[in-house]
Structure 1
Amino acid sequence: MDLSLSPHGPLRADRPDLSAYLAADGVVDHDHPAIVALAGQLRQDDPVRTAEAVFEHVRDRIDHSADVGRWSAAYRASDVLAAGNAICHGKSHLLAALLRANGIPAGLCYQKLEVLHGLNGVLLPGGSWWVRLDGRGNRNGADGHFATTPAEERPAWAGDPARGEHHYTTVYATPPEPLLDGLRAAVPNSTGYGYLPLELPDAER
């Protein structure tokens, strides 16, 4: 089996400089003291095990808003951590922040479902491929698992190509602007995803 081949398609970075996937910014704010502290608590001797511990923490300890009926509208990583819940995009921003705080390059990936789903692309230590990790949370039919190679990827949702559902191929260092505009428009305690774009431009597929 070729471990470099993902069942969900290849991934490619949108930035040539890997430092973009380690940077702190206004969304993936891994320089925030709370992010720094938690990243340190989750750190293991083996960096791959660190990535797994971070992934499992975000998947299992940060609630998906729809699963618990608490809609924080948080999307900045530190705000997601403080709220304890977010939709998939906020959780992916927190996962990226905790990984970057541990020196592991991490970006943002997307899947076209009924709405635009957010997950992560990670370049694990010692690896040469970007790997999808989906920390959405395994409730209500979701089933995401840690993977170390593209061949092992297990996103939360399988998707149905017959319905036009698919994974995008780009690993973004920062959220695409149309998505970020939607996330900024979210209202706390308001249910649903009406503020999100349904998909990214076809050019990004």
Structure 2
Amino acid sequence: MELIIGSSNMAAYLEETEMIDFHHPVIREKIEELRRIGKNKHDCAQLAFQFVRDDIQHSFDKESTKITIRASETLEQTEGICFAKSHLLAALLRGMGIPTGFCYQRVTRRGTPESGYALHGLNAVYFHELYTWFRIDPRGNKPGVQSEFSISPERLAYPIRTELGEEDYPYVYSKPLESVISSMKYSTDCKELFYNRPEAID
């Protein structure tokens, strides 16, 4: 897929925001740990991806009621849904000077059109050495779901089934969608959030 970059200003993809709070002490501590282990920027990015994918639990998978939104609280609570995990990965990468954006897919809630649809969040990353953006999905692996840090080909969590009404959006946003943040803020718990997630990009 040819990605459509939302802003021509690369600085927008390095920005710190309320949700992508990479100067928070817990985020800085994790960044320094990754830098001590990684040999170079690419290695650090892959380690960050693997950490968020594997060590931050997906709240739906663990049937949690807790909602995390900001990168720092997602790290502190060691859990979050796909949106929160993409916020954390963006904070870790941006904090290391790696431009990172937000991407979305429209997927079925439970595998069938009858179950309804919801947005799924992931990231896009830019490496100056490669002159290219590529997508990575830190959702978290489980039986039937397998994502990897792979530039080409992509190895994302969900293969999109257009015949079921699913959609792969090509846009790379510099900030999380407001509709996504609102659904997280105004849901009383994670079980309600499962149904309150936006169904599509307007």
Q: Same fold (TM over 0.5)?
A: yes
Letter paired with 2:154: E
1:12 to partner: Cα distance: 2.1
1:36 matches 2:37: no
Aligned to 2:111: none
Aligned to 2:14: 22
1:99 to partner: Cα distance: 0.4
Change (3 A) 1:23 1:192: closer
1:125 to partner: Cα distance: 4.1
Aligned to 1:188: 189
> How many residue pairs end up in the alignment?
191
Letter paired with 1:46: N
Q: Distance in 2 between matches of 1:199 and 1:32?
A: 31
Cα pair 2:100 2:124 within 8 Å, conserved: yes
More divergent stretch after superposition (9-18 vs 80-89): 9-18
Matches within 5 A, 1:2-13: 9-13=1-5
Report SS of the residue matched to 1:174.
Answer: coil
Aligned to 2:79: 85
Q: Distance in 2 between matches of 1:127 and 1:186?
A: 40
Determine which of 132, 136, 159 is the counterpart of 1:133.
Answer: 136
Structure 1: any 5+ residue segments left out of the alignment? 1-8
Matches within 5 A, 1:24-173: 24-43=16-35, 44-114=38-108, 115-148=118-151, 151-173=152-174
Q: Distance in 1 between matches of 2:41 and 2:65?
A: 33
Q: Distance in 1 between matches of 2:83 and 2:143?
A: 17
Letter paired with 1:74: T
**1:106-145: CA deviations, max 9, x gaps?**
0100011021000001002412111110000001421111
Cα pair 1:47 1:125 within 8 Å, conserved: no
- Runs of 4+ with >4 A deviation: none
Report SS of the residue matched to 1:28.
Answer: coil
Aligned to 1:5: none
Letter paired with 1:23: E
Report SS of the residue matched to 1:108.
Answer: strand
Q: Distance in 1 between matches of 2:195 and 2:7?
A: 30
Letter paired with 1:66: F
Q: Distance in 2 between matches of 1:189 and 1:121?
A: 25
Report SS of the residue matched to 1:58.
Answer: helix
